[in-house]
């Protein structure tokens, strides 16, 4: 006696994730990367005197190839100036973005500390939150910690 085996239906992809959602997600990751890089370049410039590819790779935990590819994109959008075998410099737009990122990071960290979060944990958590917090929420954090 032969048995009839029915194949399970292929999973149906929900229609609630249009292509725009994926484009936005990729764009948001690119913005986050740009913010991390300009913040690191500014910090290295302040603490070490200059930012080099090897320093960025070490700080961000990526390869020098990844740093070079990202710097090409940052140069195209006007955040950095680079020359082969030279330090990396922020443009005026890069300096503005770095200052904004630093302010956001400091605000989120201070807010988390005001809740009793230990300093090291607040620093680590702020690194992710700072990129995704809305201007309205950031303003509420600033009011809570007395910065506005």
Residue 15 lies in a domain: no
* Mean pLDDT across the chain: 88
Q: What's the CATH code of the domain at 95? A: 1.10.10.10
Supply the DSSP string of 107-142, one letter for each residue: HHHHHHHHTT--HHHHHHHHHHHTTT--HHHHHHHH
Give the model's pLDDT for residue 15: 53
With a CB cutoff of 8 Å and minimum separation 6, the contacts of 113 are 119, 122
Is residue 31 helix, strand or coil?
helix
Residue 8 lies in a domain: no
For residue 123, what are the domain limits? 22-145
Residue 72 lies in a domain: yes
Residue 10 lies in a domain: no
Give the model's pLDDT for residue 84: 81
Residue 9 lies in a domain: no
User: H helices within 48-91, ranges in order?
Assistant: 53-60, 64-76
Q: Which helix (H) or strand (E) holds 81?
A: strand 80-81
Residue 12 lies in a domain: no
Structure confidence at residue 29 as a pLDDT band (50, 70, 90):
confident
Which of 11, 115, 136 is closest to 126 using CA atoms?
A: 115
Number of structural domains (the chain) is 1
Residue 63 lies in a domain: yes
Residue 11 lies in a domain: no
Say how many residues make up the chain. Answer: 148
Q: Choose the weakest-confidence range: 23-37, 53-67, 123-137.
A: 23-37
| Whole-structure pTM value | 0.78
């Amino acid at each position: 006696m032969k048995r009839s085996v029915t194949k399970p239906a292929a999973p149906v992809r929900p229609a609630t994730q249009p292509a725009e959602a994926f484009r936005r997600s990729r764009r948001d990751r690119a913005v986050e990367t740009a913010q991390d890089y300009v913040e690191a370049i500014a910090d290295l410039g302040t603490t070490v005197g200059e930012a080099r590819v090897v320093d960025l790779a070490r700080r961000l935990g990526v390869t020098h190839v990844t740093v070079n590819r990202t710097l090409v994109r940052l140069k195209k959008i006007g955040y950095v100036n680079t020359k082969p075998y030279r330090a990396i410099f922020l443009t005026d737009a890069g300096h503005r973005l770095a200052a904004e990122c630093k302010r956001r990071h400091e605000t989120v960290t201070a807010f988390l500390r005001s809740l009793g979060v230990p300093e090291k944990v607040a620093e680590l958590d702020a690194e992710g939150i700072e990129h995704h917090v809305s201007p309205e929420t950031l303003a509420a954090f600033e009011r809570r910690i007395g910065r506005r």
